[in-house]
Amino acid sequence: MPTLFDSVQAGSLSLANRIVMAPLTRNRAPDAIPTPLMAEYYAQRATAGLLISEATAISHQAQGYADVPGLYGTEQLDGWKRVTEAVHDAGGKIVVQLWHVGRVSHRELQPGGGQPVAPSAITANTKTVLIKNGVPVFEPTSEPRALDAGELPDIVHTYRAAALNAVETAGFDGVEIHGANGYLLDQFLKTGSNQRTDDYGGAIRNRARLLLEVTRSVVDAIGGGRTGIRLSPVTPANDVYDADPQPLFEYVVKHLAKLDLAFIHIIEGATGGPRELPDRPFDYAALKAAYRAAGGKAAWMVNNGYDSALAEEAVQDGRADLVAFGKAYIANPDLVERLRLHAPLNQPDPATFYGGGAEGYTDYPALVK
């Protein structure tokens, strides 16, 4: 019977344990360039079986928050190279999360002050982060414009280029495609944000088209064994919803099963919130069963509200191969050891989550041995 602390294979990734650091946006990359402080932060957490980097923009257009990193410039790639080298020197594995925010952005963050892009011209009822006078400020997102179908092949190409840059230049062990939390690929998937009438809207197969095109293109570039994907079937994050998510996501995973991915990363319930949403019921066991029935062999990663006991139970009973932890990793760089010893956890300081320097970032204490 497997435990959280046993090794596991996820595609081409040989992982020392089944504990994953979830992607955590921290807004500490001015000009979208990763810093030496970020290298220290990730290296501190390298005992995780796998680190998934904070969401990282694949292009300037893909940016949605101030001081988040990118993958589209030489200085950005050089900065990430310092991070991956630090993680590898500490014995860890790290993949980068490929991000296009779509409509969850602000004109101040877009090239030439233009409108954010989206499947349909529907403003998200949510906020983004701008930096004003050195202080993070939450601002409503700007009204987006609908993408023309002719623009979509370039977006697919940009994901592919970012994946190649990540692996071949920046030294990542692989990538995670961000298809969750109300960002661009999730916006195309869901009826609340996608009201298109072309081949990328309407029927499930059309709404899933862009996500699957992106995933196939990334797999073609770097191999399925180094590619994962993150999905959030029912989260309300960033004002996203779908009228009937069960058949939508079962369709998605059945097609992902053909691509020999490294892992499927599922957010259960509301991102950072309740695991059960009475108004949005979803059968996660049926989702996994649909994936396996279609021949999918990727490691199944679960996320949201897992503590040590729940995570251990999920691995032991076969519901999950990997368990991702988010906020716990902010304050506990040695989370693997703390979980192993059932030791108390440091509590994170929400005031230092976004922006700033070392305080609340690299200064949380490890266990005294």
Catalytic site residue 354?
A: no
- Strand ranges in 8-115 using DSSP code E only, listed in sequence order: 8-10, 13-15, 19-21, 50-57, 94-99
Q: Left, alpha or beta for 93 (phi > 0: left; psi -120 to 50: alpha)? A: beta
Listed in sequence order, the residues at least 6 apart from 153 whose beta carbon sits closer than 8 Å to its beta carbon are: none
Rounded distance between C-alpha atoms, residue 173 and residue 336, angstroms: 20
Listed in sequence order, the residues at least 6 apart from 355 whose beta carbon sits closer than 8 Å to its beta carbon are: 26, 27, 28, 66, 67, 129, 131, 135, 136
Q: How far apart are the first and last CA of the chain?
A: 29
Rg (CA), the chain: 19
Determine which helix (DSSP H) or strand (DSSP E) holds 310, and give its type and residue range. helix 308-316
**Secondary structure class of 80 (helix, strand, coil):** helix
Tokens of 162: 């970012």
CB 122 within 8 A of CB 179: no
Nearest to 144 by CA among 120, 167, 161: 120
Nearest to 301 by CA among 200, 219, 222, 229: 229
Paired strand residues for 267: 303
Q: Per the residue annotation, which of 42, 183, 200, 251 is the catalytic one?
A: 183
Rounded distance between C-alpha atoms, residue 173 and residue 94, angstroms: 6
Rounded distance between C-alpha atoms, residue 43 and residue 37, angstroms: 10
Where b means 16+ CB within 10 Å and e means fewer, 220-256 reads ebbbbbbbbbbbbbbbbbbbbebeebbebbbbbbbbb
**Secondary structure class of 186 (helix, strand, coil):** helix
Residues involved in catalysis: 183
